[in-house]
Amino acid sequence: MIFGLLSVAKVNAGNYKIDQNKVDDLFASSKDITESALADNYNVATSSLVAAKGGQSVGGYLIRAFFCGEFALHRYYMGASGAGIFFEYFCIPIVGPIDTFVDFWWVVFKGETALNKYKGTSKYIVWLG
């Protein structure tokens, strides 16, 4: 461990210099990427890049479900209220992750149809009924 700390202390970045002219040239020659350019290049409808009504989108939901599903952040994003959802996801060690897994993949395959069932509901298991 001491060897590792000493080797980190020995690293010297003082020999490197940034050539500002080259950086400016790179920015000047770069291609501007906008939503319409993405839609043209990848055959994606521009409307799918915009958040859904109310500011909630499938992408926003999926990111929250994937990374913070254990804390039920994806459900609060959709308007669930109360501490019950948090405790059901976080405090039940096996059921919470399984429910998060199903929530995530259900929205992946069903899209907006599934997402609409989550809006404003505090039901624990939305996909059964």
Question: Which of 62-66, 99-103, 118-122 has the least mean pLDDT?
Answer: 118-122
Q: Are residues 100 and 42 in the same domain?
A: no
Banded pLDDT at 7 (limits 50, 70, 90): low
Please tell me the distance from the alpha carbon of residue 114 to that of residue 71, in angstroms, as a whole number: 20
- Structural domain of 83: 52-118
Map residue 74 onto helix, strand or coil.
helix
Q: Are residues 46 and 57 in the same domain?
A: no
Structural domains counted in the chain: 2
Q: Are residues 33 and 74 in the same domain?
A: no
pLDDT at 52: 47
Q: Which two tokens stand for residue 9?
A: 């202390």
Q: Are residues 63 and 85 in the same domain?
A: yes
Cβ within 8 Å of residue 80, ≥6 positions away: 72, 118, 120, 121, 122
Q: Are residues 42 and 66 in the same domain?
A: no
Asked if the model's pLDDT at residue 46 lies above 70, the reply is: no
The residue with greater pLDDT, 73 or 50, is 73
Asked if the model's pLDDT at residue 116 lies above 70, the reply is: yes
Angle, alpha carbons 12-15-17 (nearest 5°): 125
Asked if the model's pLDDT at residue 9 lies above 70, the reply is: no
Greatest CA span in the chain, whole angstroms?
Answer: 64
Please tell me the distance from the alpha carbon of residue 48 to that of residue 1, in angstroms, as a whole number: 51
Residue 81 domain-assigned (yes or no) = yes
Please tell me the distance from the alpha carbon of residue 56 to that of residue 87, in angstroms, as a whole number: 23
Residue 63 domain-assigned (yes or no) = yes
Residue 56 domain-assigned (yes or no) = yes
Angle between helix 58-68 and helix 95-110 axes, rounded to 10 deg: 160
Q: Are residues 40 and 59 in the same domain?
A: no
